[in-house]
Amino acid sequence: MATTEKKGLPRLVRALDEHWLLRHGLFWLANTAFLMWLFIVVCRQTADWGLALRDSLLIVVGTQVPAIYALLYGVLPLLWGSTPRRGRFLLLVTLWFWLALGLTFALRFFVLVPLRAGIVSPFPDFHNVLATGSHMPTLLIAGVAACLRVYRQWRQKELANVVLSQENYQAELQLLKAQIHPHFLFNTLNNLYALTLRQSDQAPVVVERLTGLLDFVVKQGSAPSVALADEVALLRNYIALQQLRYGARLTLVFEAEDIPAQGRIAPLLLLPLVENAFKHGSAEQVGQAHIRIALAVEGSRFSCVITNTKNADAAAGSPGIGLRNVRQRLQLLYPQRHQLTIEAHPDTFTVGLLLELPALPAATASEPGRLPTAIPDRLKVRRPEPAHLVLEAASLPRS
């Protein structure tokens, strides 16, 4: 029963907001009932319901409808224009007040008092044309109508701001995704170009791997989220390509154990981080290069730590397109639910990402909605050792 009421109330509010006739009809119906109650119960002008209904309808049609609509659509719009005109607004409010007062007294003089001739009433101003109290109901109803109109205008503006914010959000997100695709393709084609220059027998393998990567980008790159296991498989394919390019000069460890099948993540979120490690690590480093990539999921929290060695004399520059892109996408997709850290040392560069994923069925995380304050100990950065960090490209599964 409670669920039905919760569903019914928003539906009624939405119907009132969308249908002008329904909204205004209910308002005037309630106003007419209020006037009848005022005449019979409060002022005790008459005990005749028919007479009270007649007088109420005459006041609504003859005074309140023209006065209130003049206020709602002629005076109040000056408040929410692009340049509010408060001086003109105050002038029009004054003129409106005297207009409403004139309509009230004109209705009493020409209609109400003549119709009440011969009717006995205990109310002292029942036959008085200039009764000042007769203007109070119109002022009261006009005040209520003005408040409702201002509230509705404010609510429409807020909803318009929400819609605009969502449209800007989607546009910015699509722009960031559009930046990833050519950036990723450019880097991968560079790898293929380097192999073809050497006339390497691995070029066909690179093309095959590249086909798998592009298939993921085309089919799932625009999705709101993908399986975390698919994103990890994408990284494995990309790492295999890089291993083919750098060969024995690169020693690498890739740790991604116990990745849950139910985990979801934004597509292509991790790839720029891995690309950055190769681009500014092994690509620029003279001699042996080392990269360590560690991924883990604990409850609903995902951890990613990527460390690459670099030349000690490498100039410190501004973050590249990939890191800027990731930072902006995290702010859009995971507000208050992520932590991105960057540590630059003389000979190593580390990127750490802590992410709160959507709740998993078997999640056993501690308090939901709060990120861990530190990277788990088993993922902390440690200096790579070539003796046990070699990962053969052949051991990486193809997507």
Confidence of residue 110 (pLDDT cuts 50, 70, 90): very high
Question: Alpha-carbon dihedral of residues 316, 321, 324, 328, nearest 10 degrees?
Answer: 180
Are 135 and 232 in a shared domain?
A: no
Q: What is the pTM of this model?
A: 0.51
Q: What is the rounded average pLDDT for all residues in the chain?
A: 78
Determine the length of the chain: 399
Reported as type and span, the H/E element at residue 114 is helix 113-115
Reported as type and span, the H/E element at residue 304 is strand 301-309
Are 149 and 205 in a shared domain?
A: no
Give bridge partners of residue 309 from the DSSP assignment: 348
Are 251 and 105 in a shared domain?
A: no
CB within 8 A of 319, min separation 6: which ones? 327, 342
DSSP 63: I
Q: What is the pLDDT of residue 386?
A: 35
Residue 74 resides in a domain: yes
Are 265 and 371 in a shared domain?
A: yes
Which among 163, 192, 208 is the end of a domain?
A: 163
Here the tokens at position 122 are: 């205990």
Residue 132 reports pLDDT greater than 60: yes
Residue 45 reports pLDDT greater than 60: yes
Confidence of residue 319 (pLDDT cuts 50, 70, 90): low
CB within 8 A of 382, min separation 6: which ones? 292
CB within 8 A of 233, min separation 6: which ones? 397, 399
Residue 271 and residue 289 in contact, taking contact as beta carbons nearer than 8 Å: no
Domain extent, residue 240, equals 200-393
Residue 251 reports pLDDT greater than 90: no
User: Which string of DSSP letters, residue by residue, matches 315-375?
Assistant: PP----HHHHHHHHHHHHHSTTSEEEEEEE-SSEEEEEEEEEPSPPTT---SSTT---SS-
User: Which string of DSSP letters, residue by residue, matches 6-17?
Assistant: HHHHHHHHHHHH
Structural domain count of the chain: 2
Q: By mean pLDDT, which of 2-6, 297-301, 395-399 is the weakest?
A: 395-399
Residue 396 reports pLDDT greater than 60: no
Which among 143, 163, 183 is the end of a domain?
A: 163
CB within 8 A of 299, min separation 6: which ones? 360, 363, 364, 365, 366
CB within 8 A of 59, min separation 6: which ones? 35, 107, 112, 137, 138
Confidence of residue 168 (pLDDT cuts 50, 70, 90): low
Which among 163, 190, 208 is the end of a domain?
A: 163
CATH number at residue 313: 3.30.565.10
Q: What is the pLDDT of residue 27?
A: 94
Q: By mean pLDDT, which of 94-103, 223-232, 246-255, 380-389 is the weakest?
A: 380-389
Question: What are the C-alpha distances in Å from 334 to residues 82, 353, 364, 369?
Answer: 35, 12, 20, 11
